[in-house]
Amino acid sequence: MTIDFTPMYASHDAFRRDLERLAAAVAEGRAHTGSVLAGWENFKHQLHVHHTAEDSDLWPRVRERVAGRVRDLALLDDMEAEHGRIDPLLDAVDAALAERAFELPDLVRALRATLDDHLKHEEDGALPLMGEVLTGADWGAFTGRMRETQGLRGAAVFVPWLLDGVSAVERERLLGAFPAPVRVLNRVFWEGSYRRRGLWGG
């Protein structure tokens, strides 16, 4: 069974999009508005859920499959180490936002570069490895863990957050990766609620 990584790639794109929006808000002097701060809080939450699930459930599962494969184990070590380098930058941006510090633009640039390097490393190395060694059941267990962590309330934000700003073609492709009940809930309830929050001033 070929694993469909569509939601994983979409999450990565959404992280990049949000940091692009943060950088634009900083450049325009809007970083301390309520909508931008709400967008930042949602970004941090989504990233925390994503990385926590990888660290607790995904990477250990892959490690079992690549036992004895030194290069692959080193790649997984890199994934975990890169997560550890991102967390202090999140804290630094938080502090700079709270203090209206002049270092904020530099810290946002550093966070964007560090996260983008990690996401690209994961896409180029870890995702192909997962596609090689994980079964459909493995991937289902991981995505089940994600759903369990998010819960229905979390899904009500996560799904429209993934779709935020994407093209019509990409939107249909992403929605096709979700079960029909999720698509209905998103159309009827979630997307309108998400838009009313006006994250990032949108």
Complete domains list, the chain, with CATH: 6-201 (1.20.120)
In eight-state DSSP terms, residue 49 is H
Contact call for residues 53 and 145 (beta carbons, < 8 A): yes
Position 27 scores a pLDDT of: 97
HSE toward the beta carbon, residue 12, CA cutoff 13 A:
15
- Rounded CA-CA distance 46/42 in Å is 6
Local confidence band at 147 (pLDDT 50, 70, 90 cut-offs)? confident
Amino acid at 66: V
Percent of the chain with pLDDT over 70: 99
pTM above 0.75, yes or no: yes
H helix intervals, 54-197:
59-65, 70-99, 104-121, 127-133, 136-163, 168-175, 180-185, 191-197
* Residue with token string 């809080």: 41
Position 148 scores a pLDDT of: 86
Instruction: Determine the 3-state secondary structure of 12 from DSSP.
Output: helix
Local confidence band at 146 (pLDDT 50, 70, 90 cut-offs)? confident
In the predicted structure, residue 1 carries a pLDDT above the cut 90: no
Instruction: Determine the 3-state secondary structure of 193 from DSSP.
Output: helix
Burial of 176 (C-beta count, 10 Å sphere; 0-12/13-18/19+): exposed
In the predicted structure, residue 40 carries a pLDDT above the cut 70: yes
